[in-house]
Chain A
Amino acid sequence: MGSTANAEELKIELGRRYHFSASHRLHSAHLSEEENCRVFGKCNNPFGHGHNYVLEVSVSGRVDPATGMIANLSDLDAFVERTVLQVFDHKSLNEDVAAFREKVPTTENLCIDIYERLKSFPHAKLERVRIEETRNNSFEYAGEEFAQVPVASAAEKEQR
């Protein structure tokens, strides 16, 4: 099956959105009660609160000429269901997910955790995960290399 595309020049990614609902409380054991309240505001309320999260997963790879697909959606769906949705959907991130007993379950940390769970998907290369915590807040992570941008140190920030 032929294609007119200059395949080597173009990159194609497949994107899929998934939905899960979970509760969390932003609270750090390293901070005092006042500091937690100041830093996390409403998100520090003791009994937590919840979100309908949208998880966007992008994978890349060769488009198989026999199927027209980078990866079979049923494989991707089953993998995400098993490794992510079953772990997070209708759960308390703080109480039910071991990783967040220590780490604050911000959506930044959630992105990194979910990326790590998905990167072993065997049928295509994981490019990035993007999570919408609400319609107005979204977060993205694309692995270690993605993090290699210059970030101002705390001291530099103080000087500003």
Chain B
Amino acid sequence: MVLITRRIEFSASHVYHNAQLSAEENRRIFGKCNNPHGHGHNYTLEVTVAGEPDPVTGMVLDLKELKEVLEREVMQRMDHRHLNHEVPELAGQIPTCENIARVIWNLLQPKIRQGALHHVRLYESPDLFADCFRNGAAGRGNI
């Protein structure tokens, strides 16, 4: 099996706020991320697909097709958007890195037709990221 990873970047805004908690609790738990008018990040997304290279083309999957899937499912939904207000898949969830990574996994997984989605890593900043993969798959480093 071979792993192939594609990286894309998008920019979006968000705010962390749980309406079921008091204003004080929101501030205590979420800190600066609770500022009412939100803030933004340049996100970097790394999508890893696993598969066997096709004997004829030498490819695990057509990268152009993966690029189109990422454009349609991620860029058009999230790039230059407010994640709380404009992304229905995140409605009712705090748009943390953990939750966005899971939403992206669920968006991409049925759309990858060659190979299989293996790993999603979403960076909110160079020093903070979330990894999402199938339980037992042990992440990107171990096939």
Q: Which of A1-49 contact B (CB under 8 A)?
A: 1-6, 8-18
B21 contacts A16, CB within 8 Å?
Answer: no
A10 contacts B95, CB within 8 Å?
Answer: no
A15 to B98, CA, bound (A): 10
Instruction: Specify the main secondary structure of chain B where it touches its partner.
Output: mixed
B101 contacts A12, CB within 8 Å?
Answer: yes
> Interface 1/0s, chain B 1-43, versus A by CB < 8 A?
0000000000000001010110000000111000000000000
> Interface 1/0s, chain B 132-143, versus A by CB < 8 A?
111111010100
Question: How many whole Å from A111's CB to the nearest CB in chain B?
Answer: 14
Q: Which residues of B contact A72 (CB under 8 A)?
A: 29
A157 to B74, CA, bound (A): 49
Q: Which residues of B contact A69 (CB under 8 A)?
A: 94, 96, 98
A34 to B133, CA, bound (A): 48
Q: Which residues of B contact A1 (CB under 8 A)?
A: 18, 92-94
User: Which residues of A pack against B, CB within 8 Å?
Assistant: 1-6, 8-18, 58, 63, 65-70, 72-74, 140
Report 10 cross-chain contacts, Cβ distance below 8 Å, ordered by A residue: A10-B135, A12-B98, A13-B130, A13-B131, A14-B98, A15-B121, A63-B99, A67-B30, A68-B98, A68-B99
